[in-house]
Amino acid sequence: MKAVLEIERKFLFGKDLPVEIIEEAERHQLIIQWYLEHPDRRRIRLGVDESEIFLIETVKSGSGLVREEEEKYLDPAKITEIAEQLKTSRAVIKSRHIFARMQVEGVIDWYLLPQMGYVFEVETSSPFVRLPDPWEYWMQPQEGFREVTEEPYYTARSLAVVVHDIENIFPMSLPLISKKQMKKFEMLLKLIY
C-alpha cells in the first residue's frame, strides 16, 4: 500500500448546480464505497470511469482536515471473492466529478445513497498549498456552501447505510454519466446484490 497525506475540506451545497459546472470536470465516475466493520478500517471502492473499472482498497487514519491515506489497487475480478462481505457492509453510492486546478483537486459528489445531494471537496497532498474556498474554486455564490470538514457525522463512513437492493437507486439520467457507464455499474453491483 502507498501512504499519502490527504488535506481536505468538505462542503454541503444547498442549491441547484448548473450542469455547466459539471461539464468542466476532467473525469466523471460512478462509485460505491463499502466501509468494512469495526475494527477493520478498510474502505473498498468500486468505480466505473468513462474508460475503466477500478477497485481500490483504502485505509485512512486521522480525522477532519488532515488524514493519512493508504491505497492499493485490486483486480476488479476480486469483487466476486469478497461479495458476501461487501453485501453486509454499509456503503455510499455517488456520481463523482473530478477537477484539477492550482495544485488542488476539486471533487463534486452527487450522493444517490443516502440521498443528500451535492458534496463539494477541495483537497491536496501538499501541506504547503492553501486550499481555496469552494466558491472561489468553482465561482459560485458563497451562501450556497456549508462547511462540514470537522463534523464527524458528514464523513462518508458515518453516512454509509446497508444496501438491501439496488432497484430504484439510479435516476433515469445523471449529468455527464453515460448510459454505458450506468449499465456497467449496475451489472457489477448485481454481482453483489
Note the pLDDT tens digit of each residue in 75-124.
999 999 999 999 999 999 999 999 998 789 999 999 999 999 999 999 99
Using CA atoms, how far residue 85 sits from 45, 96, 147, in Å, is: 13, 24, 33
* Domains of the chain listed by start with CATH number: 2-190 (2.40.320.10)
160/28 Cα distance (integer angstroms): 21
* pLDDT value of residue 184: 95
Contacts of 100 (CB under 8 A, 6+ apart): 26, 106
Q: What are the residue ranges in the chain where pLDDT is below 70?
A: 1-2
Torsion sign, CA atoms 167, 83, 28, 181: negative
Residue 65: all three cell numbers together: 482536515
98/192 Cα distance (integer angstroms): 27
* pLDDT value of residue 2: 67
* pLDDT value of residue 3: 74
Contacts of 120 (CB under 8 A, 6+ apart): 10, 11, 12, 13, 106, 107, 108, 109, 134, 138, 145
